[in-house]
Structure 1
Amino acid sequence: MTPLRIWYVAAQRLCNLDCPYCVSVGSWSKSRRYDWEAPADRDAFAEIVSWIGARPFEVSLRLGSLGEPFASPFFLQQAAWLTRRPNVRFVELLSNAALLQRRLPTMESTANLGKLSLWLTWHRTQMSMEKFIAAAEFAQRAYGCFVVVNALLFSSGDIDDLQRLSDAADQAGLRFNLDLGYDPYAPSRTSSATEPTRTVPAIRDHGSATQVIDAVSAAGGDPELTRVTLLSLKSPKGRPCRSGHDYLFIDIHGNAYRCSRYSTLDRDCYGNVLDPDFDLRLRPQTWAPCDAAGSCCNKEDFLNLKAAADLYQRDVPSLGWTDA
């Protein structure tokens, strides 16, 4: 079988930060009190991890959660196990970096940290830039992790800090990525086309998509990546996409879809990984038209569009890095 890229979002919820723009909302919300909402969620996570680690083909995994993975010892234990599976090429965690220097050393005896990738997003009202960069540099230097320093653009007031972060990352020898921040309460459960202005606060702040692209460039981001982001939000329908061929999304319940947008729309579910009779059958053809009218907002998904083919670096251990 063709090597498979999987984005799995687990139901781990505990988070040590309190960002007002967090996209973990509603039934997918994070928690400041508990790690797993129910014991069944933790059990399901372990079963899905076992399923991934038992695939008879190569898997590249972005292992997401609703909270902060380094706040959860059990989550880290399972991630460490995956890094030692021969079929797993890499395990990519999404983190705020605040607990890295404390928790990463505890994984050294149980994980192959050379197969651990870290997508680290800076939350400027929650953590100083100096502490954030130090944690990211520590993970890359001390353990050889593939590290990406990520930031979010919400308004013109962010640009100076984002420029400073880009410069600091460059000086520390770290990769830098800039994404658009989203309004977590923008409507999403509709198949109708969605104007990016409803989802992207930066467009409302700057006045137009063109001005946002210019702002991203000024802040050290990649304007081509931003153009693809805006295109995916507005009009993915009918565009060739390889999701469902060598890429798969698994939701917090174990349901498998070609991408997270199809999950939101509950469209064409392949089945549930937790079902003992589950038999994953992906499309043999590389490209197929997307049937979602709009709101393809997650980079893990829209980098599979043919329109993004020149951006995505498929040989690097990340489902989000584009050499931006």
Structure 2
Amino acid sequence: MVRDHWLTQGKLRGEAAFGEETRENYGRDLGELSDDGRPLDLLKLKAWQEERDAAARRGEPFEEPPPALGWISFIGDLVWEATPFHVDAWLNQWKGGAARSRARRRAALFSFYEHAMRQQIVPGNPVRAIRPGVPAGLPGRVKLTRRQSGMMRSAADRWADPRDRLLVYLLLAGLRPFQACGLFLDRTFREQGGRVVSRLPMKGGGLRKEPWEWPAECVEALDAYVPEVRRVYPPYSSAEAGPLLTSWQTGRALTADTEPRRIVRRIAELHPGLAELAPRLTADGVALSVSPFTDDVEEDQERGGG
């Protein structure tokens, strides 16, 4: 394995081989492995997911961030296709961490890819563009491709609590942030056969005449959230009425202008395939992207392709 060969044979600045302490720190930064070769940090992630889900079932807020992953677990199959944006997103997992620790992690990854270049595995070092302590942010706004929309769905399945997962699903189904945050439980109806429809808010006020039918994937996400997880605080919300997506602290509706964007970026930055886009993602951009819940034929017809 390249990781083990690097730790054993790699050089630090072209000089002596790694000392024992450096080898231990660098190995931990890339990700410690169990005796059978499984990443230990993924076991920590699984424990975190179980705690999050337990809190959701109790209807309690869960503010604990996911554990930081070693580089190999974080980047996955993209290890030889990594970009500076992936590197920056990985380093930014440690919010408020010491500059010295960030510099060490960068040095570890830099040395790893220098070794891979010497072995002719990669043509360049993606860490070179990242200076210690300087995040790589990009302005602008993007939409997701079908593949990226699938990644966003996967990230929500893996890292989001039931409320945030439902929000992402609704955005991926094409609802704008003000529509998703404007859904009310007492304006959402389950019909025979399991069909679910809602009255959607309009931008200027009022409700659309035609009900919006929920995709089956969104219905599944809804059932995982209501009624066990949804937080209610009278008079703002109750078990039968009020906003569907509620704040954990107040029971009020999520603020459409700010919270969906924050949630989307927080979830996207955890996925290696979306880390490059995460700083520029908006909830509106996700809503306007290709949906993973529609067929190619349906999309072609919507675009006028026949």
**Larger RCO of the pair (alpha carbons < 8 Å, separation 6+):** 2
Using the size of structure 2 for normalisation, the TM-score is: 0.25
Higher Rg of the two aligned structures:
2
More helix by share: 2
